[in-house]
Structure 1
Amino acid sequence: MRVLPAILIVTATLGVTGCAGSMESSSDFLSRSGAMIAEQGKRLAEFAGGLVNSQDDKRYQQEIDTLFAQPMIDPLTRYLETHSADTNRARQLQQVVTERDRRCGEIGRTYASRDATTANLQRMRGGYLYSCPDEVQAFAVRVKKQASRTLAQPSPLPAPEPQAAPAPAASAEPPPSLEVASADFADALNRKRNSNCYLLYTIKNYTQALEACRQPAERGDAKAQQHMGSVSLARRDYRSAKAWAERSAAQNHAAGQLLLGRLYQDGQGVKQDQRRGLELISQAADQGLAEARFSAGLAYLNGLGTSPDPARAERYLKLAAVDGHIASHLALATLHESQGEPQQARHWLRQAARKGSAEAQFLLGQSYASGSTGAVDNQEAYVWYSLAVLNGNAKAKQAIDGQQALLSDEQLSAANTRIQDGINGKWQ
């Protein structure tokens, strides 16, 4: 099992001496905050990615609205291919898939009512093969069947005509073969199969992803192979996880290297080998994969497959943090606290909290309440505990009232303004 750094533990004792009036005031404020969020179209249920991430979600939704306002299908497909691995856009990806499939369905129904001719097939293929290969293929089957029926029908015997001098042979080109586009069909269909695999994995529909990824993985797609390995690992099918991870890693796919490295670290499907695990994870980290950089940082921090090396661990963790990897921010906060650098620890907690991590918001509240990583600031503690609650962290609820009891009315008003600014992503 991998050793994770201890999450910043603070043994602060918070006063809970507020009267009934203070408790009611705190609840009232949270209710008002919820109402304000609702008025702005920011339901708490949509805060899964964090308060700051809700600003990203709004921006992503604006992109989708613009995308849907135009009538073309290919821009939807390009969006799916560009963002298929972005878990932050999972909700938008589902919307785009639904709309793309709806538009392709309309095209399919339109051509189902048209004559099954080669000319119509050429027209359909030219306009819709990239995004709607299944519908184009279905129409091509109709055209091919129609051509077969036409050839099979006996021609009526012509009436005898007087003999005439033979006319010169016409130089007309032969009709286009239905097989000419077979390579195009295969390419478009494979691209769509790959895209479906990536999307299902991204939105964590692992049951369907396992089926959708199998064909691309067997064709040799390294990303699909890694997805097959990850889903197999989630299903505790360690033998399959190892087999797919090895195939993906053999193609130098960073996520496949990371997966195989973790299997070696944990001894799942293979004999445990921490050194080999770190070697594979480092290869993935050196390709720039943030999650691999985080794992490499933990390995050097905890001495997994190597001697502990805090300096090297910090370098990897900072690289991951620059890419927005929240767990790396928390690990850096723990590292700096253990090294007696409270201000640096609080810096990394604040960075993660502002990026929307409910855990970081809770820990930052504890930091300000106890003074474990800097000066005590009850107003800031109240702000971050409140944001953590609004972001779904139940542990912060019991701490809010204790902090409120330590604030003046003026401080509480200023704190409430800060909370609303935090909800809107307006950090000072």
Structure 2
Amino acid sequence: MAFRAHLTSALFASLISLATAALAQDGGGDAVNRPLEDDATILDRTGRPGTGQPEEGAAGAEIQGLSLYERMGAPLPEPPPEKPYDGPLDEAYGAFQRGLYLTALDKALPRAQLGDPTAQTLIAEMTTRGLGVKRDPKAAAFWYGQAAAGGDPNAMFQYALLLMEGRHVERDKAKADDFMRKAADAGNASAQFNWAQTLVSDNPGRKGLQLALPYYEKSADQGVADAQYAVAQLYNTLPGVSDDKRVKARDYMLRAAKAGFDTAELDIGIWYVNGIAGERDYDQGFQWLSRAARRGNVVAQNRLSHLYINALGTRPDPVEAAKWYVLSRRAGLTDAGLEDFYLGLTEEQQKKAIDAANRFRVK
């Protein structure tokens, strides 16, 4: 049976950011960005093409959009579907998968009461969702706890989340960490990602990232897009990463983008435009930034405006550039350079841009 594992977005939104300052103090540089060549064409934080050289008094030139740490609050994509079950035939799970919930309950409950962790996990899932039985979160927490103690990886992951958040059980970080680690080591992809996040939180700086990377890798290779995104960033910038891994950074970022993670869509677009972790490809950069912008990513909308102005991967189009600027400005992203560009348009061009922005709907 395929459980839908829920990644903890609040955890994803806050943990890795703790490592940034400490990593820089370690002398390892920015954990996400790297300096560009002197003659590189880049999109900086405002989206303006530059030379890769810092302005006087600027913090530095390694600016390729918002970093991993700054956008950890981005909505996460759905976890990948679990692999088809190829183990021994389980009548309870078979009935569940066919939607025969009462039959599944009748077959699973006696086994669960006798201590079968697989059946206990099924009962917990059904009780959580109210399938074949009245929805009862407290009872579900009990069954998850029983199954976790029995060693079921899915139950260990779910019970760790309950312990971490104090939902229907007493909050217990140490116990949550223990179950999360065990679930990760047992191969649960979502647990691997969350355990990596915990390692980063508990070990600020480069050390935490290095400890977490193997778990990010395992989760990424099972198809978890936000883990693929983390692996891409760390392969590209973390000191000590082997060359054979570093060359795979763009591949992991592309996999995360193809999974529908709009943050990865933004970054792969910027990577193509700036030539990060591979050759420049303005056409691909334009396509990915367009995709992220159409899905409502405000930073991508800003960057796309600059591509239209500078004819990078597309023909110049002042009205289209102004449309994307208007949309990003409405969302609160200011850009003095784009404002100057917009004010330099004719009234007719401004009107067309506003009309186009008003018609825009997130896809």
Q: Where on the TM-score scale, by shorter chain, does this alignment land: which range?
A: 0.5 to 0.7
**Aligned twin of 2:269:** 333
- Contact 2:199–2:211 (CA<8 Å) still a contact in 1? yes
The two structures, once aligned, show a CA RMSD in angstroms of: 4.8
- Asked if 1:303 is matched to 2:247, the reply is no
Cα offsets for 1:226-250 (capped at 9, x unmatched): 3444566678975344212112113
Q: Mind listing any 5+ residue stretches in structure 1 that lack a counterpart?
A: 14-47, 51-84, 88-127, 137-178, 200-207
Structure (1 or 2) with the larger CA radius of gyration: 1
Using the aligned pairs only, state the percent identity. 19
Deviations 1:79-131 (A, max 9, x none): xxxxxx959xxxxxxxxxxxxxxxxxxxxxxxxxxxxxxxxxxxxxxxx9937
Q: 1:261 corresponds to which residue?
A: 196
Residue correspondence of structure 1 range 284-295 to structure 2 within 5 A: 284-295=219-230
Name the counterpart of 2:291.
Answer: 351
- Which residues of structure 2 form unaligned runs of 5+? 1-18, 21-30, 35-42, 50-72, 80-98, 131-135
Question: Aligned residue for 2:153?
Answer: 222
| Structure-2-length-normalised TM-score | 0.55
**Correspondence for 2:45 among 9, 15, 26:** 9
CA apart distance, 1:412 = 3.3
Superposed displacement of residue 285, structure 1: 1.4
In the TM superposition, what are the counterparts of 1:173-192 in structure 2 within 5 Å?
A: 183=110, 191=122
Distance 1:379 1:210, change over 3 A: farther
Which amino acid is the alignment partner of residue 101 of structure 2? Answer: Y
1:25-424 to structure 2, matched below 5 A, reads 86=78, 130=101, 183=110, 191=122, 193-194=124-125, 213=141, 215-220=143-148, 221-230=152-161, 239-268=174-203, 272=207, 274-303=209-238, 306-307=241-242, 310-339=246-275, 341=280, 343=282, 344-368=284-308, 377-389=317-329, 393-396=331-334, 402-423=340-361
Asked if the contact 1:249–1:257 (Cα under 8 Å) also holds between the matched residues in 2, the reply is: yes
Question: Does the CA contact (< 8 Å) of 1:197 and 1:224 recur in 2?
Answer: no
Secondary structure at 1:316's aligned position in 2? helix
Given the two structures, how large is their TM-score scaled by the length of structure 1?
A: 0.48
- C-alpha distance in structure 2 between counterparts of 1:196 and 1:283, whole Å: 30
Q: Which residue type is aligned with residue 405 of structure 1?
A: L
Query: Given that residues 299 and 333 in structure 2 are in contact (C-alpha distance below 8 angstroms), is that contact kept between their aligned partners in structure 1?
Result: no
- Would the aligned equivalents of 1:229 and 1:242 in 2 still touch at CA under 8 Å? yes
Counterpart of 1:22?
none
Q: Say which structure, 1 or 2, has more relative contact order (CA 8 Å, 6+ apart).
A: 1
Cα separation, partners in 2 of 1:224 and 1:377, compared to 1, 3 Å: farther
**CA separation in 1, counterparts of 2:305 and 2:32?**
22
Deviation sequence 1:12-59 (CA, Å, 0-9, x none): 59xxxxxxxxxxxxxxxxxxxxxxxxxxxxxxxxxx999xxxxxxxxx
* Structure 2 residue matching 1:394: 3-state secondary structure: coil
Contact preservation (8 Å) 2:200, 2:212:
yes
Q: Deviation at 1:193? A: 3.3
SS of corresponding position for 1:259 = helix
The 3-state SS of whatever aligns with 2:305 is helix
Q: Say if 1:5 and 1:326 are closer, same or farther in 2 by CA, change over 3 A.
A: farther
More helix by share: 1
Distance 2:162 2:109 in 1: 32
Number of residue pairs aligned between Structure 1 and Structure 2: 262
Tell me the secondary structure at the aligned position of residue 395 of structure 1: coil
For residues 112 and 127 of structure 2, what CA distance do their matches in structure 1 show?
16
CA 1:225–1:190 in structure 2 vs 1: closer, same or farther (change >3 Å)? closer
Once the two structures are superposed, what CA deviation does each residue of 1:284-305 show, in whole Å capped at 9, x if it has no partner? 1111121221111112011266
Give me the whole-angstrom Cα distance separating, in 1, the residues matched to 2:140 and 2:175. Answer: 16
Q: Distance in 2 between matches of 1:375 and 1:197?
A: 53
